[in-house]
Amino acid sequence: MPQRWKITILVLAAAGIFSTPLIWLLDSPDAGQLTGASVQAAVGIAAFIWALFQHPETREDDAAVRTGQAHASSGGTAVAGIKRPQGQGSGSARAERTGNATAESDGKAITGIDYS
């Protein structure tokens, strides 16, 4: 969900929670108005909580195409592709036609996707 939609829904839900039910309840409501105010407040609360837990749409689709030749020596690290430490990023990652990876000592050479 885009961030601006999330904010819009949160503001409208908060307005729905407090506006009309508050006005109805201040005017000595009868049973129907009390029920309507309760239902409107419950729907507003549900919409607020739902929007609050939606993740902003920050998907990143990564692609590494025709990679290769990642050389490392004497403890170095080489990545010729996509590096997502600790699996960061919420979009898809794609690596095509990879090849050529050489690492020596404690090094690591990756020509695709590195999630470590």
Predicted confidence at residue 59, as pLDDT, reads 60
pLDDT tens profile 75-95: 777 777 777 766 666 677 777
The answer, as to whether pTM is greater than 0.75, is no
Listed in sequence order, the residues at least 6 apart from 89 whose beta carbon sits closer than 8 Å to its beta carbon are 60, 62
d(C-alpha 37, C-alpha 16), whole Å: 10
CA 110/CA 51 separation, integer angstroms: 39
Residue type, 37: A
pLDDT per residue as tens digits for the range 2-40:
778 888 888 888 888 888 777 777 878 788 888 888 888
Report pLDDT for 90.
65
CB atoms within 10 A of CB 68: 12
